[in-house]
Structure 1
Amino acid sequence: MSLRSGSFPRTFHASLQLLLTRRFGTFWLASLLSNIGTWAQQVAQPWLMLSLGASPWLLGLDTFALGGPGLLLTLLGGVLADRADRRRLIATLQSIQMLCPLLIVGLLLHGSIQPWIIVALSLVVGVTDALSMPSFQTIVSTLVDRRQLPTGIALNTTQFNLSRILGPSLAGVLMASIGAVGAFAVSAASYLPFIAVALWILPRATVQAVAPAEGGRDGPPLAGARAVLAQPALRGAVLTVLGGSLLCSPLLTFCPVLVKTVFQADVAQFSLTVSAFGAGGLLGGLLLMAVDPARDRRPLASWAASGFAAVVLLSALNPWAWALPLLFVAGGLAMTMANASANAWLQSQAPAAIRGQTVSLFMLAMRGGTALGGLLTGLTVSAWGVREALALNGLLALLALAGVRRGWLAVPRPTLAG
């Protein structure tokens, strides 16, 4: 990490100063509150589905419904981020999403909730997420300059992983006291502060006039994405995130299966395990805040992704329930450092005119890979068992990421940024 004497506290302090600015600090807090609600729902939802009799394959299908639309729509979301009014786009699509947990709350109170309804609503969230997340991911770049972008992304990563601790913990308390309805109600309410802050922070018009050759507003659709993928040093970041998401993220999807069927534990153990993943992610984000923003993030992203693959393999082989949260701490740290480093690398190297399409490639690799990985791993879990399926994923991920790393780290920094 190149933490020479005195560099760690100076870099870390500079990162915290950005958090104290009015616009970035308010955005950070609103995002934290929103993500707490999201994580509360993500803990409650698979446990609710298992309680309703859903199979592991149906859990995988629910994950695919949430992330699968990204395979088709995320690149379109990137074009919208570059060309449309991001302020209106985020507010409209997030408002539609808010209706989904509200509907689940109503159905739970009525006693008529069914697994297929949850999957259908996940599809609605998946579509709106795919179209809005590239715009959301570029908000940081509108609040900080290019030099501060890695620091801004690291700070955003810390709030995301802090919510990964607080959200599951809150969900565990609510589910043990008033039931899953409490977690879904919190999720619905958490949309409000983020929508309000997004309307305040983002200007009414965010589109820039750029040359067609740059793939901006007047260029061919997806020209910016093609320009990014044409650069081997940037393409390697996308492939690294894709490999980790496709093969390693199913560890989180099938965590409730591990906890409930393998270790015969309850929702408290499940909540603790998910919170442990968030704690590791928070630690990873804090460590990234101490990394020099000018540092080449490629080795860090690549080796951290391989570390996540190793955690998946060890979790599959682990025979002790008490060790699972410890492994998830390591997994959260590794995944966060891998994905945040790859994201910072991509955004800092891409021209502002195509940053939305650049982010959409990152989101496509991360969310689309997670969705497809959840669906495929659901099949192998149903056929062979959760331990065997995750062990296979971990081995394949180690091999695939080693192959990507060999080519990615061999090329010099790209000249795409301008």
Structure 2
Amino acid sequence: MRLPTALIPLRHPAFRLLWLSNLVANTGMWMQNTGAGWLMTSLAPSPLMVSLVQVAALLPVFLLALPAGAMADIVDRRIFLLATQAWMAVCALLLALLTHAGALGPWGLLALSFAIGAGTAMSSPAWQATTPELVPRDDLSGAIVLNGIGFNLSRAVGPAIGGLVVALAGPEATFALNALAFLVAIAALASWKREAPRSSLPKESFLSALRAGLRFVRGSPPLRAATIRACVFFGGLAAIWGLLPLVVRKGLGLGPEWYGLMLAAMGIGAVIGGFMLPALRGRLDRGAMVVAASLLGGGSLALLGSAPHAAVGLLAMMGFGFAWLAGASTLQAAAQLATPPWVRARALGFYQVATFGALALGTALGGWAGEVVGLKLALAAFGAACALGGIAVRHMSIEAIPAPAAAPAGASVAPRPEPADPTLAPILADGRHRVLEVTRYTIDPAERRAFLAAMEECRGVRLRGGALAWRLYEDVAHPERWVELWIVESWTAHLREEERLTEHDRAALARAAGFQRGAAPPEAARYLNVMPDMLR
């Protein structure tokens, strides 16, 4: 039987195993979030304190996702994920025990929510970076959407169960069930037979990996665009997370089971959106999809704030869920497709730092606005900000970098320098010496403009590969002579450049080499900074 288009990635066994375990773990997290949000309405029922529950869960991602991404790129991701899941299981169990004993106050709830959020922050870049390992590239976009469907399916089931559990057994029961859900994820990770990528080079140090990740982000326009547009999208819609419990309890006068149903309605809308996205992608490109999601999400937020009845609130939450899934999965797919494997967790960590920072800020501002102007106006204002912001940044392209233009006739491959002299091996190995790399070109001055365009592509290749700085110089006496210079932080970093090149990068370097005039290829050389302590 042919699978529906949205479910095709599940044909891959490893992806299916981890997807199902994530579904269970996320269901547990949504049950806990429901219990924690409702518990705070009893411990400290102000809009600000209720919104701080979500801030405590989101803020760790802003603080930790980037270093977590660097760690996930330089250690075994499977072991790393096992450790983070164990940490969250212990924190969830402690939260359950303290709540059951009546020893948990509002600040204790925030502290443990922060601790569990720290585990989420540490694990999230690694989870996302594993997806391209589990499915072929042709199924990657579908797998990312399916991850979104799974997350939102858990959002539909988890809060509904959580609301009933809170009503029947109290919030501590949701915390205990969350701890059990993490054990399911641990079991799935333990059975995953991961084939770690191999390299003849030594592992990067933590700080070196962190710096290389930031340099990649600086050299990747599609990733930067996806990050900025995600901040606008998530920041505008963030108010719902802090204000929804109060909309249900005070605005609509309903109980905890209705809070769970509201979140479940959002999850249902997201699941519907996930199944419709393959058809929508045939009509809208990624940028237009994000704009449409911003408009729908902003309108749904305003409708929720003015809802006179629970039925209208449920409808608004379904529309919100549809918009959230469409925007989030599209932006995340753009970020994933813009990053090669060697830096994927770091780049996604940067993406999460920015987006979760926007979420945390938006949630806190939403709570403040709810106190100052009331729930209705606060939600309307944030909805308008999301819609107008999405339109304002629509010019920022989140599509993959286009392939380089065809190289001139007679194009050669990128130049390769001579091997290093063996007598310098001890100096090259100590890692303290920066390397200056040089490529000299002789071109036809009539092709100057086309050559500069090709070198702009080379600049992106060098910066994404780890260059600290890049320059291009023209000989003032001989305009046919050009020198490309870039600096990397060590000899090992230079050797890693070759491993980090994608097919697109190689094509860009070959195009630049194709402008070389004469039979000889461009001349490449490397120079070692032998006095690093004096020059730094």
The TM-score normalised by the length of structure 1 is 0.89
Matches within 5 A, 1:123-272: 123-201=114-192, 203=194, 205=196, 221-272=210-261
Task: Quote how far apart the aligned CAs of 1:164 are.
Answer: 0.9
Q: Distance in 2 between matches of 1:258 and 1:77?
A: 35
* Aligned residues of 2:269 and 2:317 also touching (Cα < 8 A): yes
Q: Distance in 1 between matches of 2:80 and 2:324?
A: 29
Distance 1:202 1:289, change over 3 A: farther
Task: Quote how far apart the aligned CAs of 1:111 are.
Answer: 1.8
Q: Which amino acid aligns with 1:46?
A: G
Decide which of 359, 384, 394 is 1:395's aligned counterpart: 384
Q: Distance in 2 between matches of 1:149 and 1:193?
A: 24
Task: Quote how far apart the aligned CAs of 1:208 are.
Answer: 5.3
Q: Distance in 1 between matches of 2:206 and 2:98?
A: 43
Task: Quote how far apart the aligned CAs of 1:48 are.
Answer: 0.9
Task: Quote how far apart the aligned CAs of 1:349 are.
Answer: 2.5
Q: Which amino acid aligns with 1:352?
A: P
Matches within 5 A, 1:340-379: 340-379=329-368
Deviation string, structure 1 residues 302-347 (Cα, Å, up to 9, x no partner): 3213321222222223333320010100000111110101111221
Q: Does 1:105 align with 2:99?
A: no
Q: Distance in 2 between matches of 1:350 and 1:279?
A: 31
Matching residue of 1:70: 61
Task: Quote how far apart the aligned CAs of 1:252 are.
Answer: 2.7
* Aligned residues of 2:242 and 2:364 also touching (Cα < 8 A): no
Q: Distance in 2 between matches of 1:310 and 1:39?
A: 24
Q: Which amino acid aligns with 1:339?
A: A
Q: Distance in 2 between matches of 1:217 and 1:109?
A: 40
Q: Distance in 1 between matches of 2:196 and 2:13?
A: 21
Matching residue of 1:6: none
Task: Quote how far apart the aligned CAs of 1:232 are.
Answer: 3.3
Deviation string, structure 1 residues 169-190 (Cα, Å, up to 9, x no partner): 2112212222222211111100
Distance 1:85 1:211, change over 3 A: closer
Task: Quote how far apart the aligned CAs of 1:61 are.
Answer: 2.0
Matching residue of 2:73: 82
Matching residue of 1:19: 10
Aligned-residue sequence identity (percent) comes to 29
Q: Distance in 1 between matches of 2:323 and 2:218?
A: 25
Q: Distance in 1 between matches of 2:296 and 2:283?
A: 23
Matching residue of 2:276: 287
Distance 1:231 1:50, change over 3 A: same
The structure, 1 or 2, with the larger RCO (C-alpha pairs under 8 Å, 6+ apart) is 1
Q: Does 1:337 align with 2:326?
A: yes
Task: Quote how far apart the aligned CAs of 1:202 are.
Answer: 5.5
Deviation string, structure 1 residues 269-328 (Cα, Å, up to 9, x no partner): 211111000001111221234566998423212321332122222222333332001010
Task: Flag the structure with higher helix content.
Answer: 1
Q: Which amino acid aligns with 1:246?
A: G
Q: Distance in 1 between matches of 2:370 and 2:136?
A: 45
Distance 1:103 1:76, change over 3 A: same
Decide which of 23, 38, 41 is 1:47's aligned counterpart: 38
Q: Distance in 1 between matches of 2:9 and 2:387?
A: 36
* Aligned residues of 2:155 and 2:266 also touching (Cα < 8 A): yes
Deviation string, structure 1 residues 70-119 (Cα, Å, up to 9, x no partner): 22221111111211221221111221111222112112221222111110
Distance 1:14 1:334, change over 3 A: closer
Deviation string, structure 1 residues 149-183 (Cα, Å, up to 9, x no partner): 10111111111111111111211221222222221
Q: Secondary structure at the match of 1:406?
A: coil
* Aligned residues of 1:304 and 1:337 also touching (Cα < 8 A): yes
* Aligned residues of 2:164 and 2:256 also touching (Cα < 8 A): no
Distance 1:179 1:98, change over 3 A: same
Distance 1:245 1:17, change over 3 A: closer
Deviation string, structure 1 residues 222-267 (Cα, Å, up to 9, x no partner): 4334433543333221112111221212213211011111111111
* Aligned residues of 2:36 and 2:53 also touching (Cα < 8 A): no
Matching residue of 1:33: 24
Q: Secondary structure at the match of 2:190?
A: helix
The TM-score normalised by the length of structure 2 is 0.70
* Aligned residues of 1:75 and 1:222 also touching (Cα < 8 A): no
Q: Secondary structure at the match of 1:138?
A: helix
Q: Distance in 2 between matches of 1:298 and 1:45?
A: 36
Q: Distance in 1 between matches of 2:239 and 2:205?
A: 35
Q: Secondary structure at the match of 2:14?
A: helix
Q: Distance in 1 between matches of 2:165 and 2:366?
A: 30
Q: Which amino acid aligns with 1:137?
A: Q
> How many residues were matched structurally?
406
Q: Distance in 2 between matches of 1:378 and 1:106?
A: 29
Q: Mind listing any 5+ residue stretches in structure 1 that lack a counterpart?
A: 1-8
Distance 1:335 1:226, change over 3 A: farther
Q: Distance in 2 between matches of 1:292 and 1:324?
A: 28
**Bigger Rg, which one:** 2
Q: Distance in 2 between matches of 1:223 and 1:194?
A: 31
